[in-house]
A and B are shown apart, each in its own frame.
Chain A
Amino acid sequence: MSERIIEFREALNEALLEEMAHDENVFIMGEDVGKYGGVLKISRGVQEKFGEKRAVDTPIAELGFTSIGVGAALAGLRPIVELMYIDFTGLAMDPIINQAAKARYMFGGKAKVPLVIRTQGGAGRGNAAQHSQSLEAWYVHIPGLIVIQPSTPYDAKGLLKSAIRNDNPIIFIENKLLYNTKGAVPEEEYLIPIGKADVKREGKDLTIVATSRMVLFALNAAEKLAEQGIDAEVIDPRTLKPLDMETIGNSVRKTHHMVIVNEGVKTGGYAAEVMARSYEEVFDYLDAPIVRVTTEDVVIPYSGVLELGAMPSEEKIIEAARGFLAK
């Protein structure tokens, strides 16, 4: 198989173009997604190819256009709603959590909401308090939603395609500092199943569960830990909800040690959920308490010193691992 290397951004763009060609009910709407090609450039070329009807520029009105997306999905279309920053989803909470997430259950299984909300989170580039949050835990908490966070171009493309074909409302969270990263993506079409974790690095001493950009941090940390004789396994859940506990459990049964890395803040965060699930399911296999590496419980600051200091880092992951494995 030919090894083609492309950017994360291009992988998402390919997924969009392919799925819009695949099903005429798929369309994208959001701020500047059409003529401008998207602030994040994910929808570049989409309007040229599919017209204004299927790449719909909206006013800056997150509540309104997200609600319209949910209504269009209930009426049989397959909208992709781009919410430029996850911080802005606060404006669109009602259609996401009270309408999209609940329609199927509260209507007794008769409704379908085939909606993908594509949004972007993460700190580390000086976007400050209202453009840098990692709010995945909010959506994981809502029954009826599926939450996906890819870490590689390969996963991003395969998962976005699966998300668009899925009949449930999905929160698809990209990380702003992953768009320029590169990776192998085959020319041939492929899908990645929702709800399946991926072992990004095999190891025998320690399980590191990391999400989104934190997977990259974990992999770098694992290389450095290897130099110190600690062999870490890195697992990327890819789908945060439903969580593939089987893959995580199998790893912990082998390594007996666990570090969880998530960019959300610590209190009530996604790392807490993975930690609790692991204690419930594989407590007997653990030789030491699970350690969380998360962002501090603080508003994301602007200063680089403060911002990077608040976030997880390779050093913090290494420190956590060495805490119970240093020889």
Chain B
Amino acid sequence: MDKTEKKYIEMYRKMWLIRTFDENARDLLMKNEMRGGTHVYIGEEAIAVGVCSALEKEDYITSTHRGHGHCLAKEGDPNKMMAELLGRTTGYCKGKGGSMHIADLEQGNLGANGIVGGGIGLATGAAFACKYREDENVAVCFFGDGAINQGVFYEAANMAALWKLPVIYVCERNQFAEFSYSEWYYGDQDLTKRTEPFGFKGVEVDGNDLLAVYELATDLVSRARKGEGPFFVVANTYRIYGHTVGDPLTYRKPGEVDIWKDKDHDPILKFKSYLLRGEILSEDAAEQIEHDAREVINSAVDFAKASPHPTIDSLLEDLYVE
């Protein structure tokens, strides 16, 4: 097996990890074993995996409220993530952050964000730091097509262009902005134009086609390292589930979701058939990867459930650097 094939199989594995993680997150929330709310990334896995597979550990990402996929794609630890979802001390944030605030600073993940568009300026600032240190690292900013109407995007994009920052803005066009179709709120449906006035028009990609995303990201990341950034990507996809777990989806067109779940649209099934066709994976090996991913996540759930809740003594810790 050559290096490329290994990479492809790893990407396939990661997509299954994400899907299984979020299926479990949904399940835990619906069973009331988890507090608050959570937002699942099911159906959008190819974007996080395709982009993060083009990055190195030292590169930064900022994520969103729908952030489990980005964290896993950037080598996040499923045990620490699941423990955080259940509010345990072994979680990434010791139970203080929850689903919407998982960060993995060691992997360059500057965090999910509970504010729609909250990561846009942060990623731009991380790219500023990369350029300042002249270390050739880059920052990727994931955000949704609901966040694209936030003013901070245009302020940050202008400065990124002005200072030629190594930042790649990745808009995950999953077609929904909370409980609305996002297209209801666009003056112009062509989102690639949004950064055109700053001198870097966006490029569209099929966000459910893993290889298309990965190849585009690889190209843009290497160009950003050479100082040719910033870049803007509109990755078209579809949010299979609701905004939050429990969303009744009354606003969604009947039948629409079924198209996106079929083998020509689902990013995992699509990539699986590519791997089978190219004989990179056998059917059995593919099944095994899926099975192993489920095992990893099941054991993460077990780990989380067996972990302790915080004690009240920790309430005021971690607020300031002493």
Contacts and interface: CB of A to CB of B under 8 A. Distances in A.
Interface of A: 27, 53, 58-59, 61, 63-77, 94-95, 98-99, 103-112, 143-144, 146, 166-168
Contact of B321 (A59, A63, A99, A112): A112
Contacts of B130: 75
Interface string B102-143: 010100001101110010111111111110110000010000
B121 A68 contact: yes
Given A59-B162, A68-B121, A108-B96, A94 B60 contact: no
A146 B320 CA distance: 9
**B interface, how many residues as a size bin?**
35 or more
A106 B101 CA distance: 6
Contact of B320 (A74, A75, A99, A144): A144
Contact of B122 (A61, A63, A70, A106): A70
B317 interface: yes
A167 B122 contact: no
The 5 A-B residue pairs with the shortest CB-CB distance in the complex, in nearest-first order? A67-B121, A71-B125, A64-B155, A109-B318, A108-B93
Contact of A74 (B95, B114, B126, B318): B126
A71 B320 contact: no
A61 B155 contact: yes
A74 B159 contact: no
A192 to B, nearest CB: 18
B97 A68 contact: no
B176 interface: no
A303 B54 CA distance: 61
B123 A103 contact: no
Given A71-B123, A71-B124, A110 B103 contact: yes
Given A59-B162, A94-B115, A108-B94, A66 B121 contact: yes
B93 A107 contact: yes
Interface of B: 60, 62, 91-97, 101, 103, 105, 110-111, 113-115, 118, 120-130, 132-133, 139, 151-152, 154-156, 158-159, 162, 317-321
B37 to A, nearest CB: 15
A71 B152 CA distance: 13
A105 B98 CA distance: 11
Nearest to B98: A106
B121 A63 contact: yes
Given A58-B159, A67-B152, 6 more contacts: A59-B159, A64-B156, A68-B124, A72-B129, A73-B125, A99-B113
B98 to A, nearest CB: 8
Contacts of A27: 132
Most buried by B among A59, A74, A104: A74
Contact of B118 (A99, A110, A167): A99
A77 B94 CA distance: 25
Contacts of B113: 99
Nearest to B321: A167
Contact of B317 (A53, A77, A103, A109): A109
B319 A72 contact: no
Given A70-B122, A99-B118, A106 B96 contact: yes
Contacts of A105: 96, 318-319
Nearest to B129: A75
A107 B97 contact: yes
20 contacts: A59-B159, A65-B159, A67-B120, A68-B125, A71-B122, A71-B123, A74-B105, A74-B122, A95-B121, A104-B320, A104-B321, A106-B96, A107-B93, A107-B96, A107-B105, A111-B111, A112-B321, A146-B320, A167-B321, A168-B320
Contacts of A144: 319-320
B132 A72 contact: yes
A67 B115 CA distance: 13
Contact of B115 (A59, A61, A98, A108): A98
A111 B321 CA distance: 9
A214 B174 CA distance: 54
A61 B97 CA distance: 29
Nearest to B165: A68
B321 A94 contact: no
A63 B118 CA distance: 11
Given A104-B321, A106-B93, A146-B320, A99 B122 contact: yes
Contact of A71 (B97, B101, B121, B154): B121
A69 to B, nearest CB: 6
Contacts of A72: 125-126, 128-129, 132
Contact of B129 (A58, A71, A104, A110): A71
Contact of A63 (B105, B128, B155): B155
B122 A67 contact: yes
Nearest to B155: A64
B125 A74 contact: yes
Contact of B92 (A95, A104, A108): A108
B138 to A, nearest CB: 12
A75 B119 CA distance: 13
Contacts of B159: 58-59, 61, 64-65, 68
B283 to A, nearest CB: 42
